[in-house]
Structure 1
Amino acid sequence: MSAPLRIVFMGTPDFAVPSLQALFDGPEQVVAVVCQPDRERGRGKRLSPPPVKVLAERHRIPVLQPESVRTAPFGDEMRALAPDLLVVAAYGKILPQVLLDLPRLGAINVHGSLLPKYRGAAPIQWAVINGEAETGITIMQMDAGMDTGDILLTAAVPIGPQETAGELFERLARLGGDTLADAVDRLKAGRLAARPQEHALASQAPMLNKEMGHLDWTLPAHRLHCLIRGLDPWPSAYGFIDGRRFRFFSPEVVPVNASDPPGTIRRADGQGLLVATGADCLRIRELQPEGKKRMDSGTCLRGLRLAPGTRIT
């Protein structure tokens, strides 16, 4: 029986947790975990550890949290760990080539898309925003580029017609852990062949920002439907009704062409807000008024009278 691989895991957010857990559940040895430093979160600005750190400490694994991975002291720490393999999942920083070359089996990455589509920081959200029918997980051999390394293993899943980015995120995180475990087993056995990406087919998935959520109602309903789902839960879609900001969730395309200007509320009742768009209408079934919690439309509209003809800007 061969000796366990010495693995250093690099990851930070919730997406990386199932991948780290998959390594803990397997036969290999996680000798250290590297994640981003603790950050202030919430209104109280309390210092909070990343989810990956919480899991690592539960398993009593050493945790490194460098501000930079390009310093000599961090490089010395990594060399002292003598890893056979570096596993990366949503770590959050570009790694220098000297780190990628350190382990004898190199560095592999758990990425939330079917590469070469959606390279970058937000592949799951952009797949939903762009109305893709399918996405998945890619395990790739890392190089110095942004998600440009050779593909080792993929696993595809359909995107549900009403699925949000948050729901898809959770499914892909679990799939990432399962696919990683399979990839590490095959890599150790020498049964994993790399294949280059078709770079001409590449697309980008840049970071999201809050301004993306301000809805343009001149877009067709199906586009808005994908955008709202892709921005759920963050940064979320929004608009202004009588100067008050509302966030919008749980959209439904209603194939009715309205003569009203885009953004006009045609009906407001327990079924939701029916809003005219550039093509067809959109029903919004969940709302979040500024300063309040997200709620279903019926609950929200009990204390809020919105007459037909009101505009969302």
Structure 2
Amino acid sequence: MNAEARIVLVGIGPTTADALESLRARFTVAALVRPGEDDTTRLAAKLGIPVEPGTRIADIEALVDRLAPDAVVVSSYDRILPDRLLARCPFVNVHYAPLPRGRGRANVNWAIVNGDPETAITVHSMAPGLDAGGILYQEPVPIGPRDTVTDLYDRLNARQRAVLADAVARRLSGDEGDPQDHDAATYGCTRLPEDGEIDWAAPTAATDRLIRALTPPYPGAFTHLGLDTVVVHRAEPAPDAAHYTGRVPGRVVAVNRTGEGWVDVLTGDGILRIHEIAVDGAEPVPAATVIRSVKTTLGLRLADVLALLRGRT
């Protein structure tokens, strides 16, 4: 039965391509639900898999009613599916967190932001409740001390590609997975682009983690240089940092103009070395090509806002 099973894949994020590769090797993928055009939709089209751009709940309900698949697999989707839809056929979800810990949103980002030593890939049956269904497969994935969210997604996606089809086959056999301990559940809230603003009064390690948690495909951690928005693409705690007993968080204290082009910036407890930045959506450049003075303070200060307001009067 499994070899002939028909699967609908729903995915709008960076995990879907590897889900497609895993599923197509084992099942018939009857449709891919994904908006727009990108490498994933082009691969599906090349394989003769219909691409359905409608991602609303009503669109998916209509598609399931029309195709009557043996199962629906969800890999990167930003809505909670209603119980009436989950009752139509088996639904399986890919979740990058060690459920029951890490239910909800932005789990890979939160794992790095929070300094967790590992996360996990969990494949689970979908049931009423947020990420509450039985676990079909779970595997821990370590987080290295300099890992970015890009690095972590690469490893998680590789594991998904290896294990997803077997987990779906387990669900198709009638097994709903191992029940979760709901009393042990924790949750992550949605992250918005504006949540990436750097607070220079925070500890160096926390600021470094925030930057690493928002690398592509995310829009990046950002600060302000005057009234310009500056995305920090690459940074690290400064090695052998001097100790400042008089500190202004966000103040530039060193500019490397002739070498690698980094700048050192005071944080709440140390110094962050910034290597690459992008100003107002431009291409990344060495930080010292833009930030040139130790009199510079990063971050949108009240003085900057007042200057903007005065310029409008």
What's the TM-score, normalizing by structure 2?
0.83
Q: Which residue of 1 aligns with 2:114?
A: 130
SS of 1:153's partner is strand
Distance 1:181 1:247, change over 3 A: same
> Aligned residue for 1:78?
64
Structure 2 gap segments, 5+ residues each: 300-313
Q: Give the direction of change, closer, same or farther, for the CA distance of 1:66–1:312 in structure 2 (3 Å limit).
A: closer
Q: Indicate conservation of the 8 Å contact 2:200/2:268, yes or no.
A: yes
Distance of 2:66 and 2:298 partners within structure 1? 59
- Partner of residue 28, structure 2: 29
What is the aligned partner in structure 2 of residue 205 from structure 1?
A: 188
Alignment counterpart, residue 237 of structure 1, candidates 202, 214, 221: 221
SS in 1 for 2:103: coil
The CA distance in 1 between the partners of 2:176 and 2:63, in whole Å, is: 30
Identical-residue share of aligned pairs (%): 33
State whether structure 2 residue 246 is matched by structure 1 residue 265. Answer: no
Instruction: Name which of structure 1's ranges 279-288 and 207-216 shifts more when overlaid on structure 2.
Output: 207-216
Is 2:264 aligned against 1:274?
Answer: yes
CA distance in 1: counterparts of 2:57 and 2:192, whole angstroms: 26
Task: Find out whether 1:227 has 2:214 as its counterpart.
Answer: no
Contact 1:276 1:282 in 2 (8 A): yes
Residues 241-295 of structure 1, C-alpha deviations (whole Å, 9 max, x = no match)? 3443322122212354322221111101145211111112111111223353112
1:53 aligns with 2:41: yes
- Report which stretch shifted further, 253-262 or 12-21: 253-262
Q: Tell whether 2:79 aligns with 1:93.
A: yes
In structure 2, the partner of 1:214 is 197
SS of aligned partner of 1:14: coil
Task: Write the letter of the residue equivalent to 1:176.
Answer: Q
Secondary structure (helix, strand or coil) at the match of 1:124 reads: helix
Distance 1:265 1:3, change over 3 A: closer
Aligned counterpart for 2:52 among listed residues 31, 40, 64? 64
Structure-2 residue corresponding to 1:6: 6
Give distance in 1, aligned partners of 2:176 and 2:54: 33
Q: Tell me the equivalent position of 1:151.
A: 135
- Amino acid across the alignment from 1:292: A
Aligned partner letter, 1:239: T
Q: What TM-score results when the alignment is normalised by the length of structure 1? A: 0.83
For 1:102, which of 65, 72, 88 is the aligned residue? 88
- 1:165, 1:231 within 8 Å by CA — same for their partners in 2? yes
Kindly state the Cα deviation for residue 108 of structure 1 after the two structures are TM-superposed: 0.7
Which of 292, 297, 301 lines up with 2:282 in the alignment? 292
Equivalent position of 1:46 in the other structure: none
Aligned equivalents of 1:285, 1:10: Cα separation in 2: 38
Q: 1:268 to 1:99 in 2, by over 3 A?
A: same
Contact 1:18 1:176 in 2 (8 A): yes
| Aligned-residue RMSD, C-alpha | 2.4
Distance 2:176 2:62 in 1: 31
Tell me the secondary structure at the aligned position of residue 70 of structure 1.
Answer: helix
Q: Which amino acid aligns with 1:61?
A: I
Q: How far apart, in 1, do the equivalents of 2:228 and 2:57 lie?
A: 44
Q: CA deviation at 1:181?
A: 2.1
The alpha-carbon distance between structure 1 residues 212 and 194, as it changes in their structure 2 partners (threshold 3 A), is same
Measure the CA separation in 1 of the matches of 2:55 and 2:173: 35
Q: Which moved more, 1:181-190 or 1:114-123?
A: 181-190
Whole-angstrom distance in 2 between the partners of 1:167 and 1:34: 26
Alpha-carbon distance in 2 for matches of 1:84, 1:288: 47
Q: Secondary structure at the match of 2:211?
A: helix
